[in-house]
Amino acid sequence: MRIKNIHVVISAFCAVAGVLIAAIQTFGSSDTVPVEVKVELSGAKTAAKSPSPAAVNGDGKTDGSPSLGPNVTEVTPSEPAGFAVASLDRAKFLPATRPDTPSRYMLPALFDSNPATYVKLSAPEEDIDFILEFPFAQPVTITGMEIDTGEAQASAPGKLEVMILPSGSMEGSGRAVTSFDIRPGGGIQKFALPPAEGKGAWIRIAAQPGAAETIIGDLKLISSAKY
């Protein structure tokens, strides 16, 4: 009798254990499967802009004027970004290679934004150069230059050269001279300069070879900020 009771207890225990194992298998078989989430970021693609035309170092000029040496940079015309520097007609104009230039020519007229005023060179004069000291206390970053070459191609200048001076006329060496060939056709032409900070500029405008007269219209320096 006792053996029968023990058999019944063992059978009952086995039944309970079977139920527990089945439950564990049932609920334990549903493993958590991670859900893969893909995130895509969309945005406008920025196209890389081509750099401005490369500068070419030249050993001199071909218009018969004295060579400026290997420190001359010939620049292909391109549109400079920035703002025209204002009030340059009130700047200080100083002589460069010829001491009488400021007294012979109305240099402020080159920066007054008035198309009715200009400077004229007559043969045998072939060029004009001068130093322009900016009328500002702080240096200005120059990024380009603009020249009005007029409507008559025969009297348009042939070359424009500029050097930014770190401390105005007190320091005119150690900076590169950038040279531009004026394109045929006249009108307003703009040229990009390698950005340079300074308090003044040396500027030279040369006639076309053999020109009887040269009309120099408005000049503008272009800066990265408004002045």
CATH code of the domain in which 94 resides: 2.60.120.260
Residue 54 CB partners (closer than 8 Å, separation 6+)? 76
Q: Could you read off the pLDDT of 150-203 as tens digits, one per residue? A: 888 889 999 999 999 987 665 555 578 999 999 887 789 999 999 999 999 999
Question: How far apart (Å, rounded) are the C-alpha atoms in residues 80 and 223?
Answer: 9
Q: Could you read off the pLDDT of 125-155 as tens digits, one per residue? A: 999 999 999 999 999 999 999 999 888 888 9
Enumerate the β-bridge partners of residue 117: none
Domain count, the chain: 1
CA distance to 15, 116, 124, per residue, from 113 (Å): 107, 9, 28
Residue 87 CB partners (closer than 8 Å, separation 6+)? 135, 227
- For residue 132, tell me if it sits in a domain: yes
What is the domain range of residue 162? 58-223
Entry pTM: 0.64
Q: Could you read off the pLDDT of 18-38 as tens digits, one per residue? A: 444 444 444 444 444 444 433
- For residue 45, tell me if it sits in a domain: no
